[in-house]
Each structure stands twice: as structure tokens, then as C-alpha cells.
Amino acid sequence: MKRLILVIIMMISTLGVYSFKMNAIDAKKTSYASYYHDKFNGRKTASGEIFDNAKFTAANRTLPFGTNIKVTNLNNGKEVIVKINDRGPYHSSRALDMSKAAFDEIGDTDRGTIPVEYEIVD
């Protein structure tokens, strides 16, 4: 009887951890975003693509390449969908480096960073 209860507790614990991980991946996250300087145009990204500041792309340290995310400017509510094709940013206070076109769609390029919320979209 004790063994059966122990097995049930282990199964519930395993399912709970799995459920938590799945929700953590899909959750909305808040951070800051910046944009790429023009000097990076034409250079290879970490995914192997050639960077183009006119496309709607972004860099993130952990999301898989090719992931589409919706980025919302928390100051004005404007949204844009970008594809992750690079690694970075390498500043701990920012989660995204966006192409200039994507950043300009939701914010003002006269400002270096904006507060954003981002989530994975299908």
C-alpha cells in the first residue's frame, strides 16, 4: 500500500513539473528591447542568415532560431511580430535586440531602449 501511494505521489510530482515547464515557456515576459546599429547590415547572424535592418527580426539569448514572437511596447501598446535569427543582446537588462524596422514599428529610434512584453506566437 505504501509503495502504491509513493508511486502516485511521484507521478503527480512529475506531471506538475512538466506542466510548470510548459507554462513557463509560453508565458509572457517583460524586459527591455534595443535595436541593431546599421553597421551590422550584411553581416551573418548566429543562425547563418544575413542581417537586414529592414526585416522584422530580433536576437534573444535562449529562444530557438525561427521562433516568432509578438513584442508589445509597454509605453504605447503597439505590437510587432519578429522572427528570432540571432543571439544576444549581451547586456543583462535587455532580452531583445530588434532590427531597426521592427523597433521603429513600435517605438522611436531616437530612444535606445523601450520596455516591452513578448510572447511566442504560432
- The partner residues of 73 in beta bridges, in order of sequence, read 116
Report the alpha-carbon distance of residue 38 to residue 115 in Å, rounded: 22
Q: What is the pTM of this model?
A: 0.78
C-alpha cell at 22: 510548459
| Contact indicator for 32, 97 with CB cutoff of 8 Å | no
Distance CA 104, CA 80 (A): 10
What is the per-residue pLDDT across 26-74, written as a single tens digit (0 to 9) for each?
Answer: 689 999 999 999 999 999 999 999 999 999 999 999 999 999 999 999 9
Kindly indicate the confidence band of residue 13, based on its pLDDT and cuts at 50, 70 and 90: low
Place of cell 513578448: 118
Q: What Å distances lie between residue 46 and 31, 53, 115, CA to CA?
A: 22, 15, 25
**Domain chopping of the chain, boundaries:** 29-120
- When the candidates are 3.40.50.10540, 2.60.40.10, 2.40.40.10, 3.40.50.880, the CATH number that belongs to 29-120 is 2.40.40.10
